[in-house]
Amino acid sequence: MKLRFLPLMVSAALVAPVASSALASNAGQVLEPARADVPASVAVWKDDKAKMDAFISELIGKMTLQEKIGQLDLQSGFRNNTGPFVNEDYENQIKRGQVGAVFNSYGADFARSLQQMAVEETRLGVPLMIAHDIIHGHKTIFPQSLGEVASWDPELVKLGAKIAAREATADGIMWTFAPMADLVRDPRWGRVSEAVGEDTYLTSVMSVARVQGFQGDDLSKHDTMLATAKHFVGYGLAQGGRDYHTTDVSEHELWTTQMPQFKAMVDAGVATFMTSFNDLNGTPATGSKFLLTDVLRDKWGFEGFVVTDYTAVNELVPHGYARDDKHAAEIAFNAGADMDMVGRTYINYLEELIEEGKVDESKIDHSVRLILEMKWRLGLFEDPYRYFDMARAEKEILSDDNKALARDAARRSMVLLKNDNNALPLNQDELRTIALIGPLADSKRDMIGNWAGAGPAHLDHVITLKQGLEERLEGKVKVNVAKGATYAFLREEGSPFAHDRFNYVARQTRDDAALQKQIDEAVKLAKQSDVIVLAIGEQEAFSGEAASRTDLQLPGNQIELMKALKPLGKPMVAVIQSGRPNDLRWESQNLDAILHAWYPGTSGGHAIADVLFGDYNPSGKLPMTFPYNVGQVPVFYNHKSTGRPHDEWTQKVRSQEYTTRYNDAPNSPLYAFGHGLSYSDFQYGEITLSSDTLTLDGELTVSVEITNTGKHAGEEVVQLYTRQMVGSITRPVQELKGFDKVHFDAGETKTVSFTLTADDLAFYRADMSWGSEPGDFQVMVGTASDNVQRLSFKLID
Show which of 614, 649, 677 is a domain's final residue.
Answer: 614
CA distance 190 to 509: 23
In a domain, 90, yes or no: yes
How crowded is the C-beta side of 379, counted as CA atoms within 13 Å? 16
Query: 123 with 217, same domain?
Result: yes
- Band (pLDDT 50/70/90 cuts) for residue 336 is very high
Query: 420 with 454, same domain?
Result: yes
The separation between the first and the last C-alpha atoms of the chain, rounded to the nearest angstrom, is: 29
Sequence-distant (≥ 6) Cβ neighbours of residue 56 within 8 angstroms: 369, 372, 373, 376
- Band (pLDDT 50/70/90 cuts) for residue 506 is confident
Residue-level pLDDT at 77:
77
Query: 355 with 439, same domain?
Result: no
Number of domains in the chain: 3
Show which of 344, 359, 392 is a domain's final residue.
Answer: 392
Q: What is the mean pLDDT of residues 115-130?
A: 96
List alpha helices for 73-184, DSSP H.
Answer: 90-95, 108-120, 145-149, 154-170
- Band (pLDDT 50/70/90 cuts) for residue 17 is very low
Residue-level pLDDT at 27:
37
CB 6 within 8 A of CB 21: no
In a domain, 34, yes or no: no
CA distance 701 to 787: 20
- CA 408 from chain center: how many Å? 19
pLDDT of 12 above 50: no
Q: Which structural domain, as residue segments, surrounds residue 649?
A: 631-796
Show which of 557, 586, 614 is a domain's final residue.
Answer: 614
Q: What is the mean pLDDT of residues 636-646?
A: 94
CA 279 to each of CA 9, 242, 299, 320, 541: distance values in angstroms, whole numbers, following the listed order: 31, 13, 21, 10, 25
pLDDT of 724 above 80: yes
Q: What is the mean pLDDT of residues 607-628?
A: 98
Query: 301 with 424, same domain?
Result: no
Helix axes 154-170, 200-215, angle to 10 degrees: 40
Q: What is the pLDDT of residues 562-608, one digit of tens each?
A: 999 999 999 999 999 999 999 999 999 999 999 999 999 999 999 99
In a domain, 5, yes or no: no
- Tell me the residue length of the chain: 797
Residue-level pLDDT at 24:
33
Query: 430 with 570, same domain?
Result: yes
pLDDT of 18 above 90: no
Residue-level pLDDT at 296:
98
Q: What is the mean pLDDT of residues 303-318?
A: 97
Q: What is the mean pLDDT of residues 555-564?
A: 98
**DSSP per position, 471-528:** HHHTTSSEEEEE--S--SEEE-TTPPPTTTT-TTS-EEE--HHHHHHHHHHHHHHHHT
- Band (pLDDT 50/70/90 cuts) for residue 31 is low
Query: 758 with 720, same domain?
Result: yes
In CATH, what number is assigned to the domain containing residue 329?
3.20.20.300
CB 205 within 8 A of CB 153: no
The candidate with the shortest Cα–Cα distance to 384, out of 743, 51, 117, is: 117
Query: 380 with 434, same domain?
Result: no
In CATH, what number is assigned to the domain containing residue 605?
3.40.50.1700
In a domain, 258, yes or no: yes
Catalytic: 309?
A: yes
- Band (pLDDT 50/70/90 cuts) for residue 507 is confident
Query: 656 with 580, same domain?
Result: no
In a domain, 13, yes or no: no
- Band (pLDDT 50/70/90 cuts) for residue 90 is confident
- Give the residues across from 741 on adjacent strands: 717
Query: 419 with 543, same domain?
Result: yes
Query: 645 with 604, same domain?
Result: no
Query: 441 with 516, same domain?
Result: yes
Give whichever of 76-80, 109-113, 532-536 has the largest mean pLDDT: 532-536
pLDDT of 355 above 80: yes
User: Of the listed 182, 243, 279, 309, which one is catalytic?
Assistant: 309
pLDDT of 389 above 60: yes
In a domain, 748, yes or no: yes
pLDDT of 683 above 70: yes
In a domain, 75, yes or no: yes
Query: 232 with 353, same domain?
Result: yes
pLDDT of 43 above 80: no
pLDDT of 11 above 70: no
Question: 620 — phi, psi (to 5°)?
Answer: -70, 155
In a domain, 41, yes or no: no
CB 582 within 8 A of CB 539: no
Instruction: Fill in the DSSP letter of residue 176.
Output: E
pLDDT of 38 above 80: no
CA distance 262 to 233: 9
- Band (pLDDT 50/70/90 cuts) for residue 89 is confident
CB 737 within 8 A of CB 782: no
Residue-level pLDDT at 628:
97
Burial of 761 (0-12, 13-18, 19+ CB in 10 A): buried
In CATH, what number is assigned to the domain containing residue 687?
2.60.40.10
- Band (pLDDT 50/70/90 cuts) for residue 2 is very low
Q: What is the mean pLDDT of residues 70-90?
A: 73
pLDDT of 656 above 90: no
Chain mean pLDDT for the chain: 92
- Band (pLDDT 50/70/90 cuts) for residue 271 is very high
